[in-house]
A and B are shown apart, each in its own frame.
Chain A
Amino acid sequence: MEHYGKAPAVRIQGARLAYGGHLLFDKLNLEIPAARTTCLLGPSGVGKTSLLRLVAGLAADSEGTVADAAGRPLDGRIAYMAQQDLLLPWLSALDNVLIGSRLRGETVGEAERRRAHDLLVRVGLGGRTDARPAALSGGMRQRVALARTLMEDRPVVLMDEPFSGLDAITRYELQALAAEVLTGRTVLVVTHDPLEALRLGHRLLVLAGRPAVLDDSVQPPDDAPPRDAARQDVLALQARLLDRLSLALEATR
């Protein structure tokens, strides 16, 4: 059904980033499994976003190689979704979904418009395709951003706290939607929220310390996301993850 290429694993090697005279991380190696969702947690300022930007090719001041398992670069195979929806206020929801094609100078014909429309229907905004962002709620705007990410149809999706600006119920709904529509892609999600990580992730990583190192001592259950937040095992893991994160906070101070 989807047209994107086979989702690759992402291999980060020798990542190094200094910020304001401090070494955030050095010689950091990380493999993100193919077609799985990996959640990256850790205290504020530890370098999660920097690591994500390094993978996205947006970090000018950091070092490290990012490639797939075969050593090929990931150029053109990555879609990026930030904490802000980054919708352009002068465009309708539909045109915001189509912005990638327009920025690349591709022709936007009936087929593209229909696909964009279908994606908006899929994220639950079928009736609001002509609305400008200002007329949409925060949750709706993040849905448009999700549709825009899907329109790019890239096998690797990077998300930087994509739902942190939303209220609890909207966040819960959008987590389920994201888990559903991103199935089969290699996804890296940076999040502050242990429950979000346990709902969405196949794999969890905690970045902590200075310079930071990765820890994978707490892992989610072995079933498919999105997981119900009310499950006993999920709640027990959330308690363990919170413990782990408070240790991480100590280590990073």
Chain B
Amino acid sequence: MSALRPLVILAGLLALWQAVVWSSGVAPYILPGPASVAEVLAQRWTSLLRHAGVTVAEVVLGLGFGTILGVASATLIASFRPMRRWLLPVLVVSQAIPVFALAPILTLWLGYGIASKVAMATLIIYFPVTSAFFDGLRRTEPGWIDLARTMNGGRLRTLLRLRVPAALPALASGLRVATAVAPIGAVVGEWVGASAGLGYLMLHANARMQVDVMFAALFVLGLFAVGLYFAVDRTLRWAIPWQPEEHA
């Protein structure tokens, strides 16, 4: 039953959608029915898939770079006290300036290709990853630190063998948030200026009043975003089995 539940929910939503379209008599260029969106999906799936590939590549690369940057920053901030004073303001600024405001500048600097979108996705996940991992590193069980001290453990080894693994569950929560928000960065980047990607496709379709194409692109984007989230979530659960289980 639990495996069927998402399908039942999806079918319910589609039925509701179709019901709204029929009963309200709204024009198809405002809200197309699921049937006409499905038709677009069937006709243009190669093109949709090609654009989706670009967006997914941007999201995955952004996740990779953002994670590397965030983990490195958090480790530096947590291990060297003087670094805290220099890096924490940078971290706050990176979050305080909306990524949306930076998008035109990034496009100007990095061009209409994939690089500016990867930079956007990287920027948007940098803060959640860094702050989650930093929090984890800061909250190492004090008893473990005491134990390492009585064992004459080295500072670097205590960091690598004790504090980093202890902070991995916190990093995992940061990565889950990052996976959910990274597509925002990529799509916003594509809206500002791009030659491919689902965001680009949506903008283009919007200009030509092809609302059914917009919905089809949105559907594909949602599908990939949810798929990516579950893939990341599964991988993290498998790789970090000692994280406290969430209780339903």
Contact A76 B147, beta carbon cutoff 8 Å: no
In the complex, the answer to whether B150 meets A58 with C-beta atoms within 8 Å is yes
Q: Is B46 an interface residue (CB 8 A)?
A: no
Min Cβ gap A75→B in Å is 8
With A84-B143, A88-B162, A89-B242 given, is the CB distance from A104 to B157 under 8 Å? yes
Minimum CB–CB distance for B136 against chain A, Å: 13
When A82-B143, A103-B157, A134-B242 are in contact, do A90 and B151 touch as well, CB less than 8 Å?
no
Q: Pick the residue among B151, B240, B242 that contacts A132 (CB under 8 A).
A: B242
Query: Which A63-99 residues have C-beta < 8 A from chain B?
Result: 75-76, 78-80, 82, 84, 86, 88-90, 99
B119-176 residues with Cβ-Cβ distance < 8 A to A are 141, 143-144, 146-154, 157-158, 161-162, 165-166, 168
Note all chain A residues with C-beta closer than 8 A to B240: 90
For B143, what are the chain A residues with a Cβ–Cβ distance below 8 Å? 82, 84, 86
Query: Which chain A residues in 98-115 approach chain B with CB under 8 Å?
Result: 99-100, 102-105
Contact B154 A86 (CB under 8 A): no
Q: Would you give the shortest CB distance from B169 to chain A, in whole angstroms?
A: 9
Contacts of A89 in B (CB 8 A): 242
Task: Determine if B242 and A86 form an interchain contact, defined as CB atoms under 8 angstroms apart.
Answer: no
A75-B152 Cα distance, complex, nearest whole Å: 9
B141 adjacent to A80 (CB under 8 Å):
no
CB of A151, distance to nearest CB on chain B (Å): 10
CB-based contact B162/A103 at 8 Å: yes
Interface size class of B (residues with CB under 8 A): 20 to 34
B153 touches A86 (CB 8 A): no
- Interface flag for A56 (CB, 8 Å): yes
Chain A residues in 8 Å Cβ range of B147: 80, 82, 86
Interface centre among A99, A102, A103 (most CB of B within 10 A): A103
Nearest CB on B from A160, distance (A): 10
CA distance A78 to B151 in the complex (A): 8
For the complex, give the distance between the alpha carbons of A82 and B147 in Å: 9
With a 10 A CB-CB cut-off, give which of B151, B158, B240 has the most chain A CB atoms: B151
Do A79 and B150 contact each other (CB < 8 Å), given the known contacts A86-B141, A90-B242? yes
Q: Compute how far the CA of A143 lies from the CA of B76 in the bound complex, rounded to whole angstroms.
A: 36
Q: Which residue of B lies closest to A89 (CB)?
A: B242
1/0 per residue, CB under 8 A from B, across A164-177: the answer is 00000000000000
Extra pairs beyond A79-B150, A103-B161 (12, CB < 8 Å): A75-B152, A82-B143, A89-B242, A90-B168, A90-B241, A90-B242, A100-B153, A102-B161, A103-B157, A103-B158, A104-B152, A152-B151
Residues of A at the B interface (CB closer than 8 Å) are 53, 56-58, 75-76, 78-80, 82, 84, 86, 88-90, 99-100, 102-105, 132, 134, 152
18 residue pairs A–B, Cβ–Cβ below 8 Å: A80-B146, A80-B147, A82-B146, A88-B144, A88-B162, A88-B166, A90-B165, A90-B242, A100-B151, A103-B151, A103-B152, A103-B154, A104-B151, A104-B152, A104-B153, A105-B154, A132-B241, A134-B242
